[in-house]
Amino acid sequence: MTDDAAADGPPSDLTLDGLDEFAAAHTSHECSARARELLSAADEESREVGVHLFSLAALNEPELHDALDEVVVASARDASAEVRATAAHVAGEVPTRLSVDVLVGLVRDASVTVRRSVAGSLPLTTDDESPNPRVVGALLLLIADADAVVRDMAAFGLGTQMAGVDTPAVRAALRRLLDEPDGVDAYPAAEAAMGLALRGDTSVAPVLAERLRSQGTNAGRLWLDAAAVLASPELLPALEALREPDDDADDPWVQALDAAIAACAAAGGGAHAGH
């Protein structure tokens, strides 16, 4: 579906914010019929709403899944990046027979918005215990994406959401992110560290210790959580150096720090006296 192919109809008065209310007041058949009208509209906002509305109609209606596949496949070819991103989102929100095909086909999309949506949806389309190799392969591509947010999302998906996938290729991909700086919107290195910690990969311990030492109290919670998961006594000096006697015990960051200290101390066979 492209702008050229869309009908020259008026924009819809139905918005994304009003979709849940509309869906609650109408049958699945009515929702899907309205969605098809929106999908043929000339403006991209209406088509975006149409994809979302069709997904709501199909959510608990398996008989609509084949039709949803048709909608998502067509929308993944739309001239609008927002519509393509919506197609990728829906492919994860309501996984169907062709969801993986659609997402894999969008992995190299020129729009970063689309690739971010793909990275978020891919882990939702497969079983962690028996993962689709195409999903794993797509996430391995996205973990090396030019955009830090895409790398962050792919590292979270592959590292944490699919923690049961443990191969040399996955570990190597996660390790390649460990030197990246934390940003305001993305922290791929921390996600990678957590993914490695969940796999019991002790090679991440020196990286965790160095991050904790260099960032001090500016270290993000995820670094502390990864330290707690890894539970390596090697991390105790760096962790304990962050704890101050006047720290607020009700502060979530301090609680995460204490949990990491306790986990690492227990792993070393020692008792943590607390502060």
Q: Which of 39-43, 150-154, 238-242, 269-273 has the weakest average pLDDT? A: 269-273
CB 157 within 8 A of CB 125: no
Res 270: pLDDT: 61
| Average of per-residue pLDDT values in the chain | 92
Q: Which pLDDT score, from 0 to 100, does residue 224 have?
A: 98
Q: What is the mean predicted confidence (pLDDT) over 34-62? A: 94
Whether 69 has a pLDDT exceeding 80, the answer reads yes
Task: Round to whole Å and give the CA distance between 19 and 213.
Answer: 48
- SS3 per residue for the chain: CCCCCCCCCCCCCCCHHHHHHHHHHCCHHHHHHHHHHHHCCCCHHHHHHHHHHHHHHHCCCHHHHHHHHHHHHHHCCCCCHHHHHHHHHHHHHCCCCCHHHHHHHCCCCCCHHHHHHHHHHHHHHCCCCCCCHHHHHHHHHHCCCCCHHHHHHHHHHHHHHCCCCCCHHHHHHHHCCCCCCCCCCCCHHHHHHHHHHHCCCHHHHHHHHHHHHHHHHHCCHHHHHHHHHHCCHHHHHHHHCCCCCCCCCCCHHHHHHHHHHHHHHHHCCCCCCCC
- Per-residue pLDDT, averaged over 19-40, amounts to 93
Q: What pLDDT is attached to residue 12? A: 60
- Asked if pLDDT for residue 152 goes beyond 50, the answer is yes
Q: List Cα–Cα distances, 261 to 16, 152, 195, 271, in angstroms.
A: 45, 26, 19, 10
pLDDT band at 262 (very low <50, low <70, confident <90, very high): very high
**For residue 18, what are its two tokens?**
């009003």
| pLDDT tens per residue, range 187-238 | 999 999 999 999 999 999 999 999 999 999 899 999 999 999 999 999 999 9
Q: Residues 52, 86: contact at Cβ < 8 Å?
A: yes
| pLDDT, position 4 | 43
